[in-house]
Structure 1
């Protein structure tokens, strides 16, 4: 089977990729698939301990002595599904649907971020009739959960002096700089005590969510923050204990749902409070998140958190900032600093709140982390930075950028532009081992990445395939 979309040399490989489970942290099978692909074509291949794959191909006739070009993307994908989906990301292939001008998945993320880069790379490696310099195709792992794959690339593994990162989502805009970031985890020790009252379950649903870098500027609602506000409203008028609470699933996805089970001393009053507050939240987010819904219903009792833990957690949830903190002073419309209160999860004896912070300013990034640390300390939680990655700094001179802009104009008769992005790209880490490498990032139009409504514009994917081939030809 295949998608029956042109160019078939690209979309057939994209189809093959989406038959293989490739959630971040579960990449061995797809990594082995890439290694087998290279060996079947007698191409030099390296697979490291992180399952990163590097495939090398000599330059074609007339390009044998050209400088090596690195084509780079990541094999993993964010795995998010709708509430009613039975999809199992550990075993099931992605079910793809051609929907007019777009390719999407049935009730799950599509994996075009960043499967389309891998598909382009495989099509280039598989071709015998494309003109190109010597190539090093670098396909990394764990990009979506902390860029662990890119962080594992060491000096000497790559020789290329020009790098094409195919991991951006807006055609015609070449990225030349990106934000740095860090992931902060705050843990609360779970202690429980009996509390008599009525048991209720509250769910926040219907939010759009989306990528916490590129979509954060849209000011969409964050389910975890809304839940904190709801709990705070309840405790103003009732005694409350939390039994359990969860929200969000990925550090880099704006949480679209959250759920809490509580014990209260006056169930009817709390139901009235919640329904009234739902009206206020709907009005507040009527533009950004019109589907916002808060559901409250009766539930079964189990021993709740202590009064102190309940209070501390609500305090922390309310006082921490969320969303856009500041805008760039240099580039109109670019977010400089933001945070996404991404995941609330409960383990046997620990309640953990994970926040992703991004900034193109190292000092402001540190400031926001300090705010979180102080809030955690005041609320009796433990604070830890579990991951960080550097920004990718803009460079005034770039031959690759100039050739990309000219190639795009020559092919399509349109002016392309270059920009920075408020998201992390692996270019920042790869610059550490390739300081003199000339880099750009680009890709086809992909909408609502990291959400079940992710979709890729087919025409744009076709154009960027044509562009990639022509750019390689021009990088002689």
Structure 2
């Protein structure tokens, strides 16, 4: 069977990237990829540890002349965000990703690529199998469930790790090293639903309202781009139309991951036939307004409004409908504050990421990010206040700390020096609003010296995700030169 990535450089990195793309690895379902990595380490004759959280630690001695060099920790995560286009038929629990190459980019057909963070795993495996690449002693940490709470990093026992110089390969802008990141937490608001029955549909119409063409994106890396949030848009439509004519809400849903800006939102409504004209005019007017507002950030946005033939025998009561609209309207989303210390850096944000209609309740999930703990708590308090207003239940989970800037960093200085010598220009040193496992490692290992870097990736956490081939080659080459320097 021919390999889709055959011939791409660096050859062994893309070989392993293709191998792990065959293995299911959605967050919370990493058993198969963890076992694959365990078997790989053992087959290479390397000390391999698989802990209770399914994290993998693989240790490799330094090559000749590097036996007594400082141990370097290479770190990434094995899980991926599993998103697909609505029309794509793909079962992430068993189907391999369908890789393709378009120009300089590796992509997947109709799904996320898993470049975040499969490229870190692939680089690590290529290094671990190598016989001719000079390097100091290596400890490779591949964690689980980074994308939905960083549970693997939190569960990692420090006793397994000796190195105190860590290179996290989970950045998405080549030519930049990250030296600080935001902390975060997830929030869930649960609303009880009261239903009322519909006795007959003879004089009523059932409509489906869906968002189409929103770009979505990473809720940390791209939150500042002010892209349309499908949940907020659907809520706005329902609230607007409700003021124009009476209708009943039967279903609402949107988003699939708290850390992805929701691209898809949908509502099912039941409308009196006599109000169809008013309904259509209101929808058309609001769609035009939103398209104008999103002309730059989401130029392909439109509404898909269709009459549907389906059985609807119950709808939300008026009180439940009002509570849902109030909650989804009042929960903050997007950038909440900008850093006063670093120009252009988002300081705090919230992403209203998921809304689901279940049998007797609606769940609303958000992802808060902040470089300041006090602001993170304040946003959580705002959401809790909304929950109190609508008589819901509120909980927070998956909290992780920020990673603070280290003024004296040897690994940062090495990257800066090597990059300057190789390319004749300065590498960029930046902070990031997204969360990185470095914050957790900073708590576990107070003397750990860390940076984060990686190749160019675009559309992360969306089916448009793509990984630059040239940038991967350049980033891997930089990594090898950095390791060669640590002697």
Identify which of 244, 252, 275 aligns with 2:284.
275
Report the alpha carbon displacement of residue 412 of structure 1 after superposing the two structures with TM: 2.2
Identify which of 139, 146, 155 aligns with 1:136.
139
Report the alpha carbon displacement of residue 432 of structure 1 after superposing the two structures with TM: 1.5
Report the alpha carbon displacement of residue 237 of structure 1 after superposing the two structures with TM: 1.9
Identify which of 340, 364, 383 aligns with 2:394.
383
SS at match of 1:16: helix
Give me the CA root mean square deviation. 1.1
Report the alpha carbon displacement of residue 92 of structure 1 after superposing the two structures with TM: 1.1
**Partners of 2:258 and 2:366 within 8 A in 1:** yes
State how far apart, in whole Å, the 2-side matches of 1:283 and 1:417 are: 35
Which string of whole-angstrom CA distances, capped at 9 and with x for unpartnered residues, describes residues 26-73 of structure 1? 111010000010111110001011110000111111111122110000
Ranges of 4+ aligned residues in structure 1 off by more than 4 Å: none
**Partners of 2:401 and 2:439 within 8 A in 1:** yes
**Partners of 1:104 and 1:455 within 8 A in 2:** yes
Aligned to 1:24: 27
Q: Does 1:170 pair with 2:173? A: yes
Which string of whole-angstrom CA distances, capped at 9 and with x for unpartnered residues, describes residues 355-377 of structure 1? 11111111111111111111111
Which string of whole-angstrom CA distances, capped at 9 and with x for unpartnered residues, describes residues 91-110 of structure 1? 11111111111111111111
Identify which range, 318-327 or 386-395, moves more after superposition. Answer: 318-327
Structure 1: runs of 5+ lacking an equivalent: none
SS at match of 2:218: coil
SS at match of 1:443: coil
**Partners of 2:150 and 2:398 within 8 A in 1:** no
Report the alpha carbon displacement of residue 325 of structure 1 after superposing the two structures with TM: 1.0
Q: Does 1:187 pair with 2:196? A: no
Aligned to 2:53: 50
**Partners of 2:106 and 2:469 within 8 A in 1:** yes
Report the alpha carbon displacement of residue 305 of structure 1 after superposing the two structures with TM: 1.3
- TM-score, structure 2 as length reference: 0.96
Q: Does 1:63 pair with 2:66? A: yes
Report the alpha carbon displacement of residue 200 of structure 1 after superposing the two structures with TM: 1.6
Which string of whole-angstrom CA distances, capped at 9 and with x for unpartnered residues, describes residues 211-258 of structure 1? 000011111000001111111101112223221111001110000010
Instruction: Count the aligned residue pairs.
Output: 476
State how far apart, in whole Å, the 1-side matches of 2:335 and 2:442 are: 27
Report the alpha carbon displacement of residue 349 of structure 1 after superposing the two structures with TM: 1.9
**Partners of 1:200 and 1:267 within 8 A in 2:** no
Identify which of 252, 260, 271 aligns with 1:264.
271
State how far apart, in whole Å, the 2-side matches of 1:264 and 1:319 are: 26
Structure 2: runs of 5+ lacking an equivalent: none
Report the alpha carbon displacement of residue 408 of structure 1 after superposing the two structures with TM: 1.3
SS at match of 2:327: helix
SS at match of 2:125: helix
1:324-473 to structure 2, matched below 5 A, reads 324-473=335-484
Report the alpha carbon displacement of residue 268 of structure 1 after superposing the two structures with TM: 2.9
State how far apart, in whole Å, the 2-side matches of 1:303 and 1:278 are: 28
Change (3 A) 1:323 1:185: same
- TM-score, structure 1 as length reference: 0.98
Aligned to 2:257: 250
SS at match of 1:333: coil
Q: Does 1:291 pair with 2:300? A: yes
**Partners of 1:199 and 1:267 within 8 A in 2:** no
